């Protein structure tokens, strides 16, 4: 069962929407060609982060990024029906099984990992083992929910021997987690079990209450009293400052709120996605690929983040299918503008020897990872290129 459904949303003059551009289809084809080229090199390995020579450093054990190549392969299979992609994706399943079997290897990013692997496989092939593994992952994600503060805890505390990590992780929610709610929405649709939907809704509401500021910028993380769940304060982890706006965090939330609205129809989710996308658009100024944190000047002295751009482009292009028709051109234009910027400044799909799609991803600048290929940048680039062609069927 191959999903290749496209809407006629981008079909041009009849509904006032801009047309998808042929250069996006060409870029998508180059992405798939790149996947074909790297499969023999990758074997069963999954990219972790780019090296300076644009080859991949590979995951060494369970990692939150290990599902992104799988997601690209399932998208390529969805587009082409070529089993070279589905076979390579299916062959990766052992690594996902290992993550399910090792509780310490799990965190809030189970959604990224399992939506783009097992859920994708179930949707495209009807494989029952993949479906069961997806539901198992959703159960593990729900178990992280903190009833008192109404949020899914992001990172794992370790034992009492590491007080510093426990203080850091306990009682903390982060913006990125909104992307993982899609796994819960899917599990609810599959099983009818109310917990999946209720936890997703409560975490989303808490994100809206505590991560989104009045001016429509966002905190990367928010801390609660670990003992009582009382809300304490917003803080950053990967951004420039507690009070600044980390570009990828804002992008995760745009895409995440838009997807929550697509699934639930809750008007508050759509309103949040629109407000955050509007702020992203404002903060971009005359750029298209943002500096990694919006507090920093765009004078070329700070790294940009192509992954934030790719996530935001996919989010804006999803948003334009959700808003009333007269508002859609604004979000299509934003998605196109960001994609154009990526194609001009970051596209590696024309560069011989590069193993990924996009240069200039800012993984974690304060930790010294500021300018590299990133597997999530690549996945969302492919998703955005597909959305720009009118595709609406994804694994979220
Ligand atoms: N979810 C981790 C990150 O965005 O870097």
Q: Where are the alpha helices (DSSP H) in the chain?
A: 22-42, 68-80, 83-91, 93-101, 110-114, 120-125, 128-142, 163-169, 181-191, 194-210, 247-264, 267-284, 306-319, 328-345, 375-388
Please list the residues that pair with 235 across neighbouring strands: 221
The SS3 assignment for 133 reads helix
Ligand 1 centre and the CA of 176: distance in Å?
6
Ligand 1: nearest atom to the Cα of 174: 1
Options 176, 216, 305, 378, the catalytic residue: 176
Site to substitute for ligand 1 among 376, 377, 378, 380, most atoms within 8 A of C-beta = 376
Ligand 1: nearest atom to the Cα of 376: 4
Ligand 1 centre and the CA of 83: distance in Å?
30
Question: CA 258, CA 255: separation in Å to the nearest integer?
Answer: 5
CB hemisphere CA count around 174 (13 angstroms): 24
Ligand 1: nearest atom to the Cα of 179: 1
- What's the pLDDT score for residue 166? 85
B/e letters for 321-356, b = 16+ CB within 10 Å, e = fewer, are bbbeeeebebbbebbbbbbbbbbebbbbbeeeebbb
Question: CA 344, CA 347: separation in Å to the nearest integer?
Answer: 7
Quickly count: other Cβ atoms within 10 Å of residue 194's Cβ.
9
- What's the pLDDT score for residue 91? 98
Task: Tell me phi and psi for residue 149, to 5 degrees.
Answer: -95, -5
Ligand 1: nearest atom to the Cα of 364: 5
- What's the pLDDT score for residue 211? 98
The SS3 assignment for 14 reads helix
Instruction: Say yes or no: CB of residue 305 within 6 Å of ligand 1.
Output: no
pLDDT tens, residue order, the chain (396 aa):
444 444 433 333 234 344 578 999 999 999 999 999 999 999 999 999 999 999 999 999 999 999 999 999 999 999 999 999 999 999 999 999 999 999 999 999 999 999 999 999 999 999 999 999 999 999 999 999 999 999 999 998 777 778 888 888 999 999 999 999 999 999 999 999 999 999 999 999 999 999 999 999 999 999 999 999 999 999 999 999 999 999 999 999 999 999 999 999 999 999 999 999 999 999 999 999 999 999 999 999 999 999 999 999 999 999 999 999 999 999 999 999 999 999 999 999 999 999 999 999 999 999 999 999 999 999 999 999 999 999 999 999
Annotated catalytic, 162?
Answer: no
Instruction: Say yes or no: CB of residue 176 within 6 Å of ligand 1.
Output: yes
Question: CA 120, CA 78: separation in Å to the nearest integer?
Answer: 9
Nearest to 251 by CA among 182, 306, 326, 184: 306
Ligand 1 centre and the CA of 396: distance in Å?
17
| Contacts for 328-336: CB closer than 8 Å, 24+ residues apart | 328/9, 328/16, 328/17, 329/16, 329/17, 329/18, 331/277, 332/10, 332/17, 332/18, 333/18, 334/277, 334/280, 334/281, 335/384, 335/387, 335/388, 336/18, 336/21, 336/388
Ligand 1 centre and the CA of 156: distance in Å?
15
Angle at Cα 391 formed by Cα 385 and Cα 396, nearest 5°? Answer: 90
Burial class (CB in 10 A: 0-12, 13-18, 19+), 205: middle
pTM above 0.85, yes or no: yes
Annotated catalytic, 53?
Answer: no
- What's the pLDDT score for residue 167? 83
Place of tokens 């200039």: 360
Task: Tell me phi and psi for residue 87, to 5 degrees.
Answer: -65, -40
Question: Which residue's alpha carbon is nearest to atom 2 within ligand 1?
Answer: 176
CB hemisphere CA count around 106 (13 angstroms): 23
Quickly count: other Cβ atoms within 10 Å of residue 237's Cβ.
20
Question: CA 311, CA 273: separation in Å to the nearest integer?
Answer: 13
Given a contact cutoff of 8 angstroms between Cβ atoms, the answer to whether 246 and 295 are in contact is no
- What's the pLDDT score for residue 19? 57
Cα 144 from chain centroid (whole Å): 20
Return the HEC string of 144-169.
Answer: CEECCCCEECCCCCCCCCCHHHHHHH
């Amino acid at each position: 069962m191959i999903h290749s459904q496209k809407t006629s949303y981008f079909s041009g003059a009849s509904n006032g929407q801009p047309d998808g551009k042929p250069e996006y289809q060409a870029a998508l084809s180059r992405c798939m060609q790149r996947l074909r080229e790297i499969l023999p090199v990758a074997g069963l390995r999954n990219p972790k982060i780019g090296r300076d020579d644009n080859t991949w450093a590979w995951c060494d054990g369970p990692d939150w990024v290990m599902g992104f190549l799988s997601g690209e392969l399932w998208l390529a299979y969805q587009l082409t029906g070529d089993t070279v992609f589905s076979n390579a994706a299916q062959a990766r399943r052992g690594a996902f099984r290992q993550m399910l079997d090792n509780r310490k290897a799990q965190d809030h990013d189970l959604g990224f990992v399992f939506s783009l692997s097992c859920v994708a496989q179930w949707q495209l092939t009807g494989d029952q083992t993949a479906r069961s593994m997806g539901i198992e992952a959703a159960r593990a994600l729900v178990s992280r929910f903190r009833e008192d503060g109404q949020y899914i805890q992001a990172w794992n505390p370790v034992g009492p021997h590491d007080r510093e990590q426990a203080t850091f992780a306990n009682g903390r929610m982060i913006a990125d987690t909104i992307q993982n709610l899609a796994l819960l929405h899917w599990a609810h649709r599959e099983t009818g079990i109310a917990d999946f939907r209720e936890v997703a809704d409560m975490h989303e509401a808490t994100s809206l209450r505590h991560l989104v500021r009045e001016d429509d910028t966002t905190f990367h993380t928010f801390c609660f009293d670990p003992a009582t769940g009382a809300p304490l304060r917003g803080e950053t982890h990967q951004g420039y400052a507690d009070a600044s706006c980390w570009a990828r965090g804002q992008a995760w939330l745009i895409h995440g709120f838009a997807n929550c609205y697509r699934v639930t129809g809750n008007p508050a989710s759509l309103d949040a996605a629109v407000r955050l996308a509007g702020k992203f658009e404002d903060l971009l100024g005359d750029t298209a690929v943002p500096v990694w944190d919006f507090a920093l000047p765009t004078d070329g002295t700070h790294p940009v983040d192509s992954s934030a751009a790719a996530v935001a482009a996919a989010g804006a292009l999803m948003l334009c299918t959700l808003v009333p028709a007269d508002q859609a051109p604004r979000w299509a234009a934003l998605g196109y503008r960001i994609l154009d910027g990526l194609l001009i400044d970051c596209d590696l799909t024309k560069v011989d020897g590069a193993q990924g799609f996009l240069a200039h991803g800012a993984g974690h600048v304060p930790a010294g990872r500021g300018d590299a290929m990133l597997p999530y940048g690549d996945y969302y680039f492919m998703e955005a290129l597909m959305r720009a062609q009118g595709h609406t069927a994804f694994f979220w």
